[in-house]
């Protein structure tokens, strides 16, 4: 299977990956498109594992908590090309765990770093909140990760990237950690933002909104003339499916969207769009439409009941962002492999002459 590199070149290289905290598969799907074949994916939620298995029956998906995962039970992951994962959102050390007496998200991050030690991948790619990279409150956590990976022989970079710069019709900033074993990171180049803007909310959802013949779809699409705000997945432990807190709901209302719920179907033909009526005059988004705003392809099925489906989508890494990141990693690995092959083909006498 040929894949497109970061600069648009077509390459045939395929690499192996281990995916942790795989969720609905946004990161794994984008990385697959870039050239990575996952040899194992793990997640601790049954519904996420169901989604992964439904869409990719050939993937080895295991329902297991990262905190208890023993890589000795999957020794084929040792020395894999890439260890990737969209880790649970780490909270500020100033507030994390005060109510619960612990910090599960930080424990998962530590377990992910421990897994690097066990597996020894060539590359590490972790996604988390942008605050982890930007804010001084997280400096101690960044220092811990940097020190541990440096001890293991990895060099790393932190960066905040907006998925909208890579074709996702949503302003979504994500925090990224990329680490390469040895000096491989010298070959890595962060993907440049696309020159063309992403689709607006109306452009991205115009076809799906009109699927049942809604006569007001063009008026709605014209109203929804900006990029969507950040999709907020919400907590797995409480609340129903909606588009976030009050401030987020007000933003959605400006574009004719009812952010207070997730709909079961697109608008009927005679639906009256009238924001002056309050929520009754706004259209709710369906889980499938939220998935489109996250950059999932229409044929990627999210399994489970509505709230659990929405949680999977809302907390996913946008596949188009994962694809360009993966392509940049593929470029670095391919360059390194090509150089190794070139060196191996040089007669030993010539190598001696170079010393």
Give the list of residues 6+ apart from residue 126 with CB closer than 8 angstroms, or none: 84, 85, 86, 87, 109, 112, 176, 177
Total domains in the chain come to: 2
Residues 92 and 161 in one domain: yes
Residues 31 and 143 in one domain: yes
Residues 235 and 339 in one domain: no
Looking at residue 237, its pLDDT comes to 73
Residues 298 and 267 in one domain: yes
Residues 138 and 12 in one domain: yes
Q: Mind listing the pLDDT tens digit for each residue in 204-261?
A: 999 999 999 999 999 999 999 999 999 988 777 777 788 988 888 999 999 999 999 9
Residues 46 and 101 in one domain: yes
Residues 61 and 85 in one domain: yes
Residues 160 and 240 in one domain: no
In a domain? residue 351? no
In a domain? residue 349? no
In a domain? residue 350? no
- Residues of the chain with confidence (pLDDT) below 70: 1-12, 93-102, 338-355
| CATH number, residue 146 | 3.40.50.150
Report the half-sphere exposure of 108 (CA within 13 A, side-chain side). Answer: 21
Looking at residue 48, its pLDDT comes to 98
Looking at residue 331, its pLDDT comes to 96
Matching residue, tokens 């074949």: 37
In a domain? residue 26? yes
Looking at residue 339, its pLDDT comes to 66
CA distances from 6 to 53, 54, 156, 262 (A): 28, 29, 19, 35
Residue 285, strand partner residues: 262
In a domain? residue 251? yes
In a domain? residue 231? yes
Looking at residue 337, its pLDDT comes to 73
CB distance 340 to 14 below 8 Å: no
In a domain? residue 15? yes
In a domain? residue 352? no
Residues 39 and 147 in one domain: yes
Per-state percent for the chain, helix, strand, coil, to nearest 5: 45, 20, 40
Residues 97 and 228 in one domain: no
Residues 47 and 174 in one domain: yes
CA distances from 98 to 23, 82, 87 (A): 26, 34, 20
Give the list of residues 6+ apart from residue 39 with CB closer than 8 angstroms, or none: 16, 17, 18, 60, 76, 77, 80
Residues 250 and 229 in one domain: yes
The domain of 133 spans: 3-196+319-344
């Amino acid at each position: 299977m040929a894949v497109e590199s970061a600069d648009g070149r077509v390459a045939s290289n395929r690499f192996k990956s281990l995916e942790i905290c795989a969720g609905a598969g946004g990161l794994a799907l984008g990385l697959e498109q870039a050239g990575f074949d996952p040899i194992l994916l793990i997640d601790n939620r049954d519904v996420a594992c169901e989604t992964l298995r439904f869409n990719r029956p050939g993937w080895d998906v295991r329902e297991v908590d990262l905190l208890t995962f023993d890589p000795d039970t999957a020794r084929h992951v040792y020395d894999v090309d890439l260890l990737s994962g969209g880790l649970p959102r780490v909270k500020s050390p100033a507030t994390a765990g005060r109510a619960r007496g612990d910090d599960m998200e930080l424990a998962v991050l530590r377990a992910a770093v421990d897994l690097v030690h066990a597996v020894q991948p060539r590359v590490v790619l972790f996604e988390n909140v942008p605050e982890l990279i930007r804010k001084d409150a997280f400096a101690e956590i960044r220092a811990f990760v940097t020190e541990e990976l440096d001890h293991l022989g990895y060099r790393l970079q932190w960066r905040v990237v907006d998925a909208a710069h890579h074709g996702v019709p949503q302003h979504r900033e994500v925090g990224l950690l990329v680490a390469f074993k040895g000096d491989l990171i010298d070959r890595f180049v962060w993907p440049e933002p696309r020159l063309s803007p992403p689709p607006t909310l109306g452009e991205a959802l115009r076809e799906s909104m009109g699927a049942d013949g809604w006569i007001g779809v063009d008026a709605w699409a014209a109203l929804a003339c900006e990029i969507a705000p950040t999709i907020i997945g919400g907590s797995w432990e409480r609340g129903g499916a909606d588009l976030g807190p009050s401030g987020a709901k007000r933003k959605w209302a400006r574009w004719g969207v009812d952010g207070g719920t997730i709909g079961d179907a697109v608008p009927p033909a005679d639906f009256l769009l009238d924001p002056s009526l309050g929520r009754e005059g706004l259209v709710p988004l369906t889980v499938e439409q939220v998935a489109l705003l996250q950059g999932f392809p229409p044929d990627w099925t999210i399994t489970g009941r509505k709230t659990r489906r929405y949680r999977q989508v809302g907390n996913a890494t946008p596949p188009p962002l994962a694809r360009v990141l993966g392509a940049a990693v593929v470029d670095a690995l391919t360059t390194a492999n090509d150089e190794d092959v070139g060196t191996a083909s040089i007669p030993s006498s010539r190598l001696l002459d170079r010393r």
